[in-house]
Amino acid sequence: MKQKEKKERKLTKAELRRKARFEALVADMEGQGWTAHNLTIGVVKANILAMLVMFPFALAVAIWYLMVNGSLNEPSLTDMLLLLVLLIALLVAHEGIHGLVWGLYAPSGFRSIEFGIVWAVLSPYCTCAEPMKKGQYLLGSAMPTLILGFGLGIVAVYTGVSLLLYLSMLMILGGGGDFCIILKLLAYRPQGEAVYCDHPYELGLVAFERPTGA
């Protein structure tokens, strides 16, 4: 008996547009001898893995901060409101950094970059419509967390500003989805030449592979 196929969620207009564009890309790539391999990951699984992968790093930054500064400052109501405003700004900046790095490497530059918001969860996103080399895709995936998470953590440690530490830890945890995708990509072993492209509407990416020299 065939297993009942999983019902696909209803896509937004933007996702449908990206899906159509991606299907055209796949057809073009396959015509050039490439084969597509899906490297997506479920949202629930990604959220669980994100916490498992990133929590130790966030905790390590907090321990380092306490070793250097001794204690945390108790946040006031004003601090909490400021934290919320800065967090929203950094979430937007996170996606902007994705777009900046990928836009530098994508064949069509920043024309291949698209930003948006998943209104159901009020989450901004960035996606790139064109394939890139492995190192380019990895750099664009990791850079927001390296700068806004670990970089901000270093600033927090050496300035002793607890608010920056909280932001750093949140941004490290918030980068968990990116690092799950990075791990998925690093675990993939192509048998020949390969390039990598964002999936148009699911969490993860698609690898295009063809024999070396084809």
pLDDT at residue 193 above 90?
A: yes
Mean per-residue pLDDT, 190-214 = 90
DSSP category for residue 132: B
Give the C-alpha distances (Å, rounded to integers) separating 172 from 91, 143, 148: 11, 11, 8
Q: Is 163 helix (H, G, I), strand (E, B) or coil?
A: helix
141 exposure class (CB count in 10 Å sphere: 0-12, 13-18, 19+): buried
Q: What is the pLDDT of residues 37-87, one digit of tens each?
A: 999 988 778 888 888 889 999 999 999 999 999 888 888 889 899 999 999
Please report which confidence band the pLDDT of residue 5 belongs to, taking 50, 70 and 90 as the band edges.
very low
Write down the pTM of the prediction: 0.89
Identify the pLDDT of residue 133. 95
In this structure, what DSSP letter does residue 130 have? S
Q: Where residue 119 falls among pLDDT bands split at 50, 70, 90?
A: confident
Would you state the pLDDT for residue 213? 65
Instruction: Confirm if 100 and 94 have CB atoms less than 8 A apart.
Output: no
- The pLDDT score that the predictor gives to residue 181 is 92
Helical (H) or strand (E) element with 133: none
Predicted confidence at residue 117, as pLDDT, reads 82
Q: What is the mean pLDDT of residues 189-205?
A: 92
Look at residue 121 in the predicted model and tell me its pLDDT. Answer: 65
Tens of pLDDT, residue by residue over 138-173, are 999 999 999 999 999 999 999 999 999 999 999 999
130 and 29 Cβ atoms separated by less than 8 Å: no
Pick from 75, 76, 94: nearest CA to 148 = 94
DSSP state of 114: E
- What residues contact 81, with CB distance under 8 A and at least 6 apart? none
pLDDT exceeds 60 at position 3:
no
Distance CA 120, CA 60 (A): 32
Q: Annotate 44-106 with three-state secondary structure.
A: HHHHHHHHHHHHHHHHHHHHHHHHHHCCCCCCCHHHHHHHHHHHHHHHHHHHHHHHHHHHHHC
Would you state the pLDDT for residue 8? 61
Query: Is pLDDT at 12 greater than 70 in this prediction?
Result: yes
Predicted pLDDT of residue 44: 79
